[in-house]
Structure 1
Amino acid sequence: MKCLRAHFDADENPFGSPYDLFAVDDRHPCGELRDLRLRPDGTVVELCILEDAPPDVESRLADHPDIVDFDVGETSDGGVACHVHLDPNDDVRRLLELVDEHDLLLDTPIRLTRDGVVVNVLGTHTQLTGAVSSLPESFRDAFCVEGLSDYEPVRNGVRAELTSRQREVLETAVENGYYDIPRQVSIETLATELGCSPSTISEHLRKVESKVLTRL
């Protein structure tokens, strides 16, 4: 089985207004889609975990014309869980239809980052290339294949317990030498690279380190 890692650029935003719904000051949300399903009637249900949701998330959902129904709750680490039933645009609907038509699997969670949406899609090489060649035109400019490799499932462990944003912060910190001796990068530099405040980076790393240490 192959795993295709794809990135959809936030600036092109092929996902339509629901993706912009949670943006604050033109900054797209960070979080992950834990589940995403196309219903027989063409609508979509999804479970979205937002790590930095706007305070008026419920009113935004209630006022949005594409939202059929929703429920919102808090997560144990201060995030927001949104169970949303929505009417997607035609291209998003077609994208999900391609997953079924080519017998593909979405390897959740789907990551929501400042730069866009990161998706891992599973299938044979033939199935994956067939789906890519059938992408809706509006997705072509936003779509980028980051890699195609043999599928290696992530075993249960500390990494599986981290949110997508925590993994992103941790990976950036490690890559830039934050945990090297001597330390090669500051919290402030990491914050600039990741587009958030130093206090937010410190909080993410504190939660990561807490989860790691409790497993020792």
Structure 2
Amino acid sequence: MFTATIHFEQHRECILRRLTADADDPVPIEIEEVRDGSVTFVLRAGAETDANAFQRELEAADHVEHVDRLDETNLLVTKPSCGAYSAIYRNHGTLRRSNTIKGTHREYNVLLFRREDLKAIIEDLSSFGTVTLGKLEEFGTGREPSMTDRQRTVLAEALDRGYYEWPRDIKSAELAEALDISRATLQEHLRKAERTLLSTALDRDRGVRGRRATPKRRR
């Protein structure tokens, strides 16, 4: 199993390309779900004024399916994929939650099982953009991760119910309802648990090697 950082220059038009073109720093996007050609993600605007502007433009776009304001700076968005997310999942990759976008540039952190899958992802992405491979590291089995009991419970439930299958056997809203928590709380638990797992594995690898919700308003 490997983790790969993929830098991608998007050649296709995309509303996020326009929204983030003038951002001072890359805007974090945390992928929640890719399903039937649509992607659901948390857009971390970083400031309330930016979130307000992003929300207005997203709600005004006919192709955006859903916009939900999670808090002052974060939006939950569902829209058709511009192609990159589908290319990654179609070739057996899994997007980690920490990804960024700024104008045409995207940085994707991908978990995959085989180098052949990475090659297929790059070939697919190259058909509508420019791809540069950043880090490629083995995903090692590290020490026991330090997660809270609640994070471990939520992560185990997500795994057992097929949340990490492709396509997913259960949607995030259904999983949150089964756990009797909000979708935002579910995302936070999963995000922290995944970050712990990744950090633990990558830190151990370095040591071994001695290197380094308001629905969208229809108008």
TM-score, normalization by structure 2: 0.54
Alignment check: 8 A CA contact 2:8 2:107 kept: yes
- Superposition deviation, residue 83 in structure 1: 0.8
Alignment check: 8 A CA contact 1:28 1:115 kept: no
- Superposition deviation, residue 137 in structure 1: 1.6
> Which residue of 2 is the match for residue 193 of structure 1?
none
Aligned partner of 1:135: which letter? L
- Superposition deviation, residue 6 in structure 1: 0.9
Corresponding position: 1:137 with 2:127: yes
Secondary structure of 1:22's partner? Answer: helix
Of 43, 46, 51, the match for 1:51: 46
Q: Alpha carbon RMSD of aligned pairs, Å?
A: 3.1
Aligned partner of 2:107: which letter? V
Alignment check: 8 A CA contact 1:66 1:88 kept: no
Q: Distance in 2 between matches of 1:28 and 1:60?
A: 19
- The verdict on how the C-alpha distance between 1:34 and 1:156 changes in structure 2, with shifts beyond 3 A counting, is farther
> Which residue of 1 is the match for residue 16 of structure 2?
19
Of 62, 72, 76, the match for 1:83: 76
Q: Out of 103-112 and 48-57, give the one that drifted further.
A: 48-57
Q: Distance in 2 between matches of 1:135 and 1:56?
A: 29
Of 27, 33, 37, the match for 1:31: 27
Q: Distance in 2 between matches of 1:5 and 1:88?
A: 20
Secondary structure of 1:147's partner? Answer: strand
> Which residue of 2 is the match for residue 203 of structure 1?
none
Unaligned runs of 5+ in 2: 148-190, 193-219
Secondary structure of 2:125's partner? Answer: coil
- The verdict on how the C-alpha distance between 1:135 and 1:56 changes in structure 2, with shifts beyond 3 A counting, is closer
Unaligned runs of 5+ in 1: 162-216
Q: Deviations over 1:157-190 (max 9, x none)?
A: 9xx98xxxxxxxxxxxxxxxxxxxxxxxxxxxxx
> Which residue of 2 is the match for residue 6 of structure 1?
6
> Which residue of 2 is the match for residue 74 of structure 1?
71
> Which residue of 1 is the match for residue 137 of structure 2?
149
Q: Distance in 2 between matches of 1:111 and 1:122?
A: 16
| Paired-residue identity, % | 12
Corresponding position: 1:99 with 2:92: no
- Superposition deviation, residue 7 in structure 1: 1.1
Aligned partner of 1:105: which letter? T
Q: Out of 50-59 and 65-74, give the one that drifted further.
A: 50-59
- Superposition deviation, residue 48 in structure 1: 1.6
Aligned partner of 1:84: which letter? V
Aligned partner of 1:81: which letter? N
Q: Distance in 2 between matches of 1:115 and 1:87?
A: 17
- Superposition deviation, residue 30 in structure 1: 3.3
Count of residue correspondences: 144
TM-score, normalization by structure 1: 0.55
